[in-house]
Amino acid sequence: MNMKQVSSLAARLMSARAADGCEITFDLYSSPAPDAPRVVLIHALAMAARQWDELVQELRDTCHLLTVDCRGHGRSEKRPGPYTGDLFADDLACVLDAAGWSSAIVAGCSMGGCVAQAFGLRHPPRTDGLVLIDTTASYGVAAMPKWAERAQRAATQGMAALVDFQLDRWFTDAFRAEQPAAVQRCLDIFLANDPACYGATCDMLAKADLRAHLDTITCPTAVIVGEEDYATPIAMAQDISARIAGAKLTILPKARHFSPVERPHAIADEVLWVAQQL
């Protein structure tokens, strides 16, 4: 696996203004091929654009890439909640406008996958395809108290109180031992989060339910889940793929919740599969 840092690649740092004025920061990576497919990458909860470093390395030569910091995350404005998936999806539409992109393949991991689904539902003409990674269409009512507990712990004890819980969910034990730099990068991103914005995003995910309208999605769709992902387990990926006609479901062995970091080559293959369907 090539774990070289993407900082060595030339990226164009840009920002967009959302409808409410919130500043959203993103990076553009241009492929040498002018007619290469355009791919947006949306990070997980409490992550940022650099969650995608490994995948950018995989796709940099074959795709034009846009990695975004969602509102309340990374370098984007830490505007207080409440947040909704629709709000994040509309933020992304403003980002595409600022980038000069009329449409793109939209890929997202975990929270990013929820946002990608919302974008596909709200902006179908701008959605060339979807790549839904380690995600769900709904966590269910039973999960709401757990989301509230996580938000409360962050607010009262700080983000560091959640580190052990998160690391075990994100990565297999073997990956944590073999790739400490990648693990540390994700940990550093996580610890830099604003607890209030984190709590607002937890509430957004607790309430998210995209199931009812997924059958209206007609673009090429790949659904990927780590075999050992217990944050959004295989059953959640199966549910999404069953609701979207023609969706391709892939289960990745020996991967947990952050398979774009653990298994970037496999994720790149699925992105390129979607591109080939266009």
DSSP symbols for 24-46: EEEEEE--SSTTPPEEEEEPPTT
Q: Which of 1, 107, 13, 109 is nearest to 57 (CA)?
A: 1
Check pLDDT > 90 for residue 235. Answer: yes
What are the residues whose beta carbons fall under 8 Å from the beta carbon of 232, sequence distance 6 or more?
110, 113, 134, 135, 136, 225, 257
**Helix, strand, or coil (residue 209):** strand
Does the predicted TM-score (pTM) go above 0.75? yes
Mean pLDDT of 134-156: 98
Using an 8 Å Cβ cutoff, are 224 and 133 in contact? yes
11 pLDDT tier (thresholds 50, 70, 90): confident
Mean pLDDT of 62-76: 99
Task: Give residue 10's pLDDT.
Answer: 64
Check pLDDT > 70 for residue 108. Answer: yes
87: which 2 tokens?
A: 């709000």
Sign of CA dihedral 84, 195, 46, 20: positive
Check pLDDT > 80 for residue 5. Answer: no
Map out the domains of the chain with their CATH numbers. Answer: 6-276 (3.40.50.1820)
129: which 2 tokens?
A: 């395809």
DSSP class of 138: B
Task: Give residue 207's pLDDT.
Answer: 98
